Structure 1
Amino acid sequence: MPTSSEMLEQFEATYAMGDASIDHTHREFLELCVAAAQAQGAAFAERFAALFAHTQAHFADEEARMQASAYPAIGEHRAHHQNLLGDMDRFCQRAGAGRSAMARAWLNDSLPQWFDLHARTMDSALAVHLRQQG
């Protein structure tokens, strides 16, 4: 499984969806993942919190676009978002309390795997739907 840094390097070839908004937000997401992964000490909690805030806004925007375009798989897609946000919230709280080891491990091990699957399946299907809607 590639790291967030490797995903960012491979972005155009692997993760670009052809939707300017989705692609921009995904690139920012990966940049924030890399920044958090590289942070040391108290800076980790700050960067992880910035990643969490970005992800909340990212998902809210995506869900608004799904709603506006009558996306048929909105329920499943939203549930996938909510599961991740729940995990991120718990790890963000731990990191903010000075217990960052598990948050760092999740960021480096689980989040790239989640993003890879989500982008290649749910977000790619959404991008196709949005193109079809014009």
Structure 2
Amino acid sequence: MPVMDQTHVEFVELLATVQQASDDDLVAHWQALVDHTEAHFAQEDRWMLATGFAPGSCHLTQHAVVLKVLKEGLTLGQQGQLPPIRQMAHELTLWFPHHAQTMDAGLALHLKSVGYDPVTGALSQPEALPAQAIHGCGGACGDEQKQAA
């Protein structure tokens, strides 16, 4: 999905900027990453909720947890504690590829299967929406795979 892919490219670029930032610039670059991630996750969360994901699904929950941790890092950075931000940035480089290749790939497949246009919010195949809210991860794990088995 081009919209999702572009958002992911922006995330990776901002993360690289954080990793290369001097101590003087680190908090400002981390703030930019946090702001982007908040918008990024909110966008995907809207797509999920519009197409049948339960509010407590693991994909939505993971977004909330990761964003909470990033904001905690920002608070620490604003207090002058830079090592936690550098550690979090490193951890994000490990977490994000897996997240994108599993949960986000599953979400993209789901959105395509119901004919959801992420730009307009139009749904061309409402009959393809799940009969029950998706509680798993949206194609990568969880309830929907158990039902398919």
Question: Would you say same fold, with TM above 0.5?
Answer: yes
1:22 matched to 2:16? The reply is no
Q: How does 1:60-79 map to 2 (within 5 A)?
A: 60-71=42-53, 75-79=57-61
> Quick one: distance in 2 between partners of 1:40 and 1:101?
12
1:14 aligns with none
C-alpha displacement of 1:71: 3.5
**TM-score scaled by length of structure 2:** 0.73
Which is worse superposed, 71-80 or 43-52?
71-80
1:61-87: per-residue Cα shift (whole Å, max 9, x none)? 101011112246962111111110111
- List gaps (5 residues or longer) in structure 1: 1-18
Q: Which has the higher contact order (CA 8 A, sep 6+)?
A: 1
Asked if residue 112 in structure 1 is aligned to residue 96 in structure 2, the reply is no
The worse-fitting range, judged by mean Cα deviation, of 123-132 and 98-107 is: 98-107
Further displaced range: 66-75 or 78-87: 66-75
Secondary structure, counterpart of 1:64 in structure 2:
helix
Q: Is 1:122 aligned to residue 99 of structure 2?
A: no
Kindly indicate whether the alpha-carbon contact (under 8 Å) linking 2:49 and 2:55 is maintained by their aligned counterparts in 1.
Answer: no
With 25-34 and 83-92 compared, the bigger mean Cα shift is at: 83-92
Alpha-carbon offset, residue 124 of structure 1: 0.6
Give % identity: 33
Deviates more, 1:97-106 or 1:20-29: 97-106
Does residue 85 (structure 1) correspond to residue 67 (structure 2)? The answer is yes
Distance of 2:98 and 2:55 partners within structure 1: 16
Q: Which runs of 5+ in 2 are unaligned?
A: 116-149
Kept in 2, the 8 Å contact 1:66–1:74? The answer is no
Paired residue secondary structure (1:70): coil
Q: Which residue of 2 aligns with 1:45?
A: 27
Find the aligned partners of 2:95 and 2:47 in 1 and give their Cα distance: 21
Displacement over 6 Å in runs of 4+:
none
Alignment of 1:97-108 (within 5 A): 97-108=79-90
Question: CA RMSD of the aligned region, Å?
Answer: 1.5
